[in-house]
Chain A
Amino acid sequence: MTRTRRTLISFVALTLAMGGVASAQDREIRFVWDNLEPETKQLWHDYLLDPFEADNPGMKIDFQPTPQVTDAVRVQMVSPTTAPDMFMADATEIATYVDAGTLLPLDEYVEKYDLKSKVFPWALGLGFMDGHYYSIPHEFEATMMVFNKSLLDANGWKVPRTREEFVAVCDAAMAAGLICIAQGSAGNILVQQFAFEKYLTNYAGPKAVRDLFKGAVTFSSPDIKGAFELLKSDWDKGYWNDRQSPAVTIAQARSLWLEQRALFLAEGTFTQRFIDSSPVAFEWGATSWPSMRDGVPSASGIAIGAVMAVSKYTKHADVAGALMGYMYERKDLMLEGVGKGLQPRATPFAISDVSGDMAPSTRTMLTALLDVTKDPDNVGYAPWTFFPTKTNQYLMETLDTLFYDEIGLDDFLAAAQKVLDAELADGYEFGAP
């Protein structure tokens, strides 16, 4: 063998050996999340992933923001070779994964990192089923009425807090050629949740919603039926984007609000991401949706924007557990990130805790979030966190047909009840106490 060939072979062997040593030392997990704007992805790196890897030598995170993440993960989870180690899911999806036996119980890490003392009990409880924890909550958010304060002030209108005030300002807005509530669901039926949640929370009330999904009352009960009846009535009056919501995308609806042609956006604290990236040339604010009935206080629906779960196929469960623990251990990093625009995690904090210079939009939305959630007895339930999956899907898909009189209210509610009954029979349990 020539000297050159011996040298080459030695070099290759050494490289392979070093690679093997390196890979034996580094334990990497694939962490799949929702698609993120480049700026937001950078914030994740700055305030979570890079510090985690620096503080945990040998632990590596292959962070993969993915479009249509819930669909993608569901397909990937079918096989051990394609399943991600750790992934984002909606809280309501976890039960399906648990039934399929594809998730790793996280009790060990909940104990090890003392998450019971750090995470909101109601949020941690969302992932507790069949006697084990299967998911850890991530983003904490709430539904909101986002309003154009400049437009309201210019017209001498108040931010409505009661049904009467709401009707008065909507009628006045429409008379002035404005849109009361900008909302667009074309190409994105998820937006429909924002509409029916507002009326269920502020007409029927959180207790009625809880009773509905525990099976104590039905969709045809006066409170629940009344909520949908009122929503339909407001739709008929043109309050909801002049009855054009299904013909308008969410981006187009938001543009109407930006152009000051609409007073309100019926969304949530997550709307901040849109506001931060848009040229908002007016004063705005956020608060809970107004009460839609006497005796039902104004409230917002609390939500966990996403939960984290670990696949049972992972080879490095300790890395996944360590990352989840780190998210709640390093509250200082979380608060710095929140100050830069990241969504807060499901842990208590005060606005004064948020360090660094905060953008005005961040301060406005954080203040609103803390305000609407300060009374734990007066919070509603966001559908994407608490409602049973198929029932929620039915409501989102079929609300249009109610709006366009394709289906009568009684038939709509009867069909919803049928879907809910099937889910209750399958063992669905409402996730909030």
Chain B
Amino acid sequence: MASAARNTLFILPAFALHAAVVSVPLISLMFFSFTDWNGLATPSFVGFSNFSRMLFDDANFRRALVNNVTYMLIFLTIPIAFGLLMAMLTVRTGRLQVVYQALFFIPYVVSPAIAGKIFMMFYDPYNGIGQFFASIGWSFLADIQYIGNRSITLFSIAFVDIWHWWGFVMVIFVAALHQVDRSLYEAAEIDGATKLQRFFHVTLPQIRPTLLTLITVTIVGSFVTFDYVYVMTQGGPAGASEMASTWIYKRAFSSYEVGYASAMSVFVCGACVMAYWLFQRIRRNSEVMP
């Protein structure tokens, strides 16, 4: 009993901090989502009108959600696949793998704001990387409007985020790969399994917990992505890169519609929870099935 009390005492500070910066603001958020509040004056209760506006009257929010889903699909594929591939190649390099890991991890420590600004220089249609491609005769790359072409703006921003993120994914996979029992590979080899078969029947099942964790993080992260978009385009041009988070930010801090922004935040939070729950159901079902 004394030990339980002592243990409780040890976690109290962390719990208090969590309550102060997560739980209490979350409850406040839910409260303000039902109000018309400009962030300064006394909020007035408006019922579900914020949610109704969000779902039926705000085309920009719906477009932002579509962009979030697109972003999620990009990040569920490219960085995870590339990170795993590079991890598998890196672990075969013996002592040099530490060097490679350090090099590939460097982008992850660069501040997103700085990386965003640097890549906007690369994407400059007049003085950017297009000029370099033109100088070496690669006109097919020189003429690309990375930001100005609205059909690829989001992908141009995603490229920067992937550049930033994939090194971290690779390092996580390297750690997971090191946990795989070598004897499983030996047994598979003895049984005549090809490299591809060893990958699908040994490697993937063994690193499954890590893979599922990364997928979960990616899903949630895709809904809250903000920094690169805000620094580079603020959601433009013409909403091509608008995300739920940037739209919420603008409503809250530029238009004084904190109540409405709270409602959108509640919706996005709920969408994250739903996506996570759905993913966990799929995961559990796939574990149950033979």
Name the one of A256, A390, A403, A404 contacting B126, with C-beta atoms under 8 angstroms. A256
A-B contacts, 27 listed (Cβ < 8 Å) = A71-B253, A97-B40, A99-B41, A101-B41, A186-B237, A187-B230, A187-B232, A246-B147, A246-B236, A247-B123, A247-B146, A247-B148, A248-B124, A248-B125, A249-B120, A252-B121, A255-B127, A256-B126, A389-B255, A389-B256, A397-B250, A400-B236, A400-B238, A401-B238, A403-B237, A403-B238, A404-B237
**A188 at interface by CB-CB < 8 Å:** yes
Taken residue by residue from 254 to 275, chain B's Cβ proximity to chain A (1 for < 8 Å, 0 otherwise) reads as 1110000000000000000000
CB distance from B137 to the nearest CB of A (A): 21
Contact B40 A186 (CB under 8 A): no
Contact A247 B255 (CB under 8 A): no
Question: Which residues of the other chain, B, contact A116 by a CB distance below 8 angstroms?
Answer: none
Q: 3 shortest A-B CB distances, which residue pairs?
A: A246-B237, A247-B148, A100-B40
Question: Which residues of the other chain, A, contact B124 by a CB distance below 8 angstroms?
Answer: 248-249, 252
CB distance from A311 to the nearest CB of B (A): 11
Contact A261 B239 (CB under 8 A): no
CB distance from B214 to the nearest CB of A (A): 30
The count of residues in chain A whose C-beta lies closer than 8 Å to any C-beta of chain B is 35
Given contacts A247-B145, A247-B237, A256-B126, A186 and B38 within 8 Å (CB-CB): no
Assembled-state Cα–Cα distance A248/B41 (Å): 37
Chain A interface secondary structure, helix, strand, loop or mixed?
helix
**A393 at interface by CB-CB < 8 Å:** yes
Name the one of B38, B123, B239 contacting A406, with C-beta atoms under 8 angstroms. B239
Question: Which residues of the other chain, A, contact B234 by a CB distance below 8 angstroms?
Answer: 186-189
Contact B231 A74 (CB under 8 A): no
**A102 at interface by CB-CB < 8 Å:** yes
Question: Which residues of the other chain, A, contact B147 by a CB distance below 8 angstroms?
Answer: 186, 246-248
Q: Taking CB as reference atom, which chain B residue is nearest A394?
A: B255
Taken residue by residue from 128 to 159, chain B's Cβ proximity to chain A (1 for < 8 Å, 0 otherwise) reads as 00000000000000000111101000000000
**B39 at interface by CB-CB < 8 Å:** yes
Question: Which residues of the other chain, B, contact A99 by a CB distance below 8 angstroms?
Answer: 38, 40-41
**B233 at interface by CB-CB < 8 Å:** yes
Taken residue by residue from 154 to 193, chain A's Cβ proximity to chain B (1 for < 8 Å, 0 otherwise) reads as 0000000000000000000000000000000111110000
Question: Which residues of the other chain, B, contact A189 by a CB distance below 8 angstroms?
Answer: 234, 236
